[in-house]
Structure formats: C-alpha cells, structure tokens
C-alpha cells in the first residue's frame, strides 16, 4: 500500500511541475508575441493532458500487477 502512495507522489509531482511549466512558457511566449499563440496554447494543454493520462495509466498497470 505504501509503495503505491510513494509511486503516486513521485509521478504526480513532475506531472504538476510540467503542467505549470508549460503554462509559464506559454505566458512568456505570448508576451514576446508569437505568430500563433492559440495553437501553442492548445499544444501545451494537449501535451500536459497526455502526460497526466500517461501517469494514471502507469499507476493503474502497476496497481493491477501488484494485485495479481
């Protein structure tokens, strides 16, 4: 049980960090005046969402393999 919690904390912290980092980078680049700010915003959200979903999938697989 504790190993799952440690793994969850270890995987969720970089996910949150990557999400906020992409938002920070997006804010910096729009101030510089990108040609397509909406496209860049959509890309950062898609990549952060995929990273979060990938983390959850890894957790579910890890949890399932522990139960067997």
DSSP string, the chain: -HHHHHHHHHHHHHHHHHHHHHHHHHHHHHHH--S-HHHHHHHHHHHHHHHHHHHHHHHHHHHHHHH-
pTM given for the model: 0.45
The Cα–Cα gap between 45 and 52 comes to 10
pLDDT for 29 equals: 64
At 1-57, the pLDDT tens digits run 667 766 776 777 777 777 777 777 766 666 555 566 676 677 777 777 777 777 787
Q: Residue ranges of the domains in the chain?
A: 2-67
pLDDT for 23 equals: 73
More confident residue, 33 or 58: 58
pLDDT for 30 equals: 60
């Amino acid at each position: 049980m504790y190993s799952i919690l440690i793994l969850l904390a270890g995987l969720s912290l970089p996910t949150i960090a990557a999400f906020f980092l992409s938002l920070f980078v997006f804010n910096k680049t729009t101030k510089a005046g990108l040609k397509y700010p909406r496209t860049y915003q959509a890309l950062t959200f898609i990549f952060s969402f995929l990273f979060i979903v990938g983390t959850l999938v890894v957790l579910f697989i890890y949890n399932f393999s522990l139960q067997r």
